[in-house]
Amino acid sequence: MAGQMLPPIALVAVAICITAVAAAKVPAIYVFGDSTADVGNNNYLTGAAVPRANFPHNGIDFPTSRPTGRFSNGYNGVDFLALNMGFRRSPPPFLAVANKTSNPLFRGLQGTNFASAGSGILDSTGQSIIPMSKQVQQFAAVQRNISARISQQAADTVLSRSLFLISTGGNDIFAFFSANSTPSSAEMQRFVTNLVSLYTNHVKDLYVLGARKFAVIDVPPIGCCPYPRSLQPLGACIDVLNELARGLNKGVKDAMHGLSVSFSGFKYSIGSSHAVVQSIMKHPQRLGFKEVTTACCGSGKFNGESGCTPNATLCDNRHDYLFWDLLHPTHATSKIAAAAIYNGSLRFAAPINFRQLVDDQH
């Protein structure tokens, strides 16, 4: 690539692309994952089993108070990370733009969000949703579209500077636990090893398609969400879920380091939502929270027995809550998490933080 000249039309295309988001620090963000990152893809899927959030009280604090499909009272973590990078919020859901032909030259050039609530690393995780493997295939279609419009070389340049954000794994752990709530150490190890191997394959597939900068969000202590607590007789965190989350996080950390050694130009940061949530649970007042066990919106024990529906109980002081619903953070939590991951110390993002990953122009 070094020393090669881009054809004039490609240079113009790249210049227009980058000028179009003049304030942005990367040409584009491509997002993959589950409900922690979904901004409305599942709205376009059919079937009763599809997890959705395109109804109140979701979105009550979103601009114009509209439910968009985000599992939040407002923005999710991806929105806040995108804001930090100079975008308005997350790029649009793939399924919202997949069939639009307007401005085809730059469709996908400023990023796309492929995340699907309920999905996981494994194809077997979730029902009637878009698994990670299919999300990668959808990106391949976007990549082909970009290459066809602005030349392969120009596309390679844009994609190598863009950010590939991945937030997944929690649903795989929940599915494993629901099938076997008392797994042996050997079973847990086998499961995590397989999960890390498949995660690594998804990342390699994205690399082959032109991705070079990977921003990974790890799995939080999901055993402490209101839903698992509601299942535990004493209302405590479910340790097996937290142990599996720690195991997956460690495996992915080691795998990403290995890929950075083996693959030319491979750069990454792992943002630790795990460390952020732990910090909030340990010192809630210090970070402005008052309630770290019960969800703001839901029903039953800890408001964790069912989702945030129009008929659910809704708290008044949403900014005081760590959890929005049975499994997801509030707008306030996501804002703090994104700030810590983007600008924070090694405790919250390693081996560099997201800002350093974004600023790395080499």
Active site residues: 35, 325, 328
- Burial 160-196, CB ≥16 within 10 A → b, else e: ebbbbbbbbbbbbbbebbeeeeebeeeebeebbeebb
CA-CA-CA-CA torsion for 102, 103, 105, 110, nearest 10 degrees? -110
User: Quick one: how far is CA 120 from the chain centroid?
Assistant: 11
Q: CA 131 to CA 120: how far, in whole Å?
A: 6
CA distances from 52 to 58, 69, 95, 206, 340 (A): 10, 6, 14, 27, 28
Q: CA 94 to CA 27: how far, in whole Å?
A: 17
Q: Phi-psi category of 151—alpha, beta or left, where left has phi over 0 and alpha has psi -120 to 50? A: left
Q: Phi-psi category of 66—alpha, beta or left, where left has phi over 0 and alpha has psi -120 to 50? A: beta
> 311: closest CA among 322, 298, 324?
298
- Burial 9-29, CB ≥16 within 10 A → b, else e: ebeebbeebbeebeebebbbb
Enter the tokens of residue 219: 């799995």
**Residues paired with 346 in a beta bridge:** none
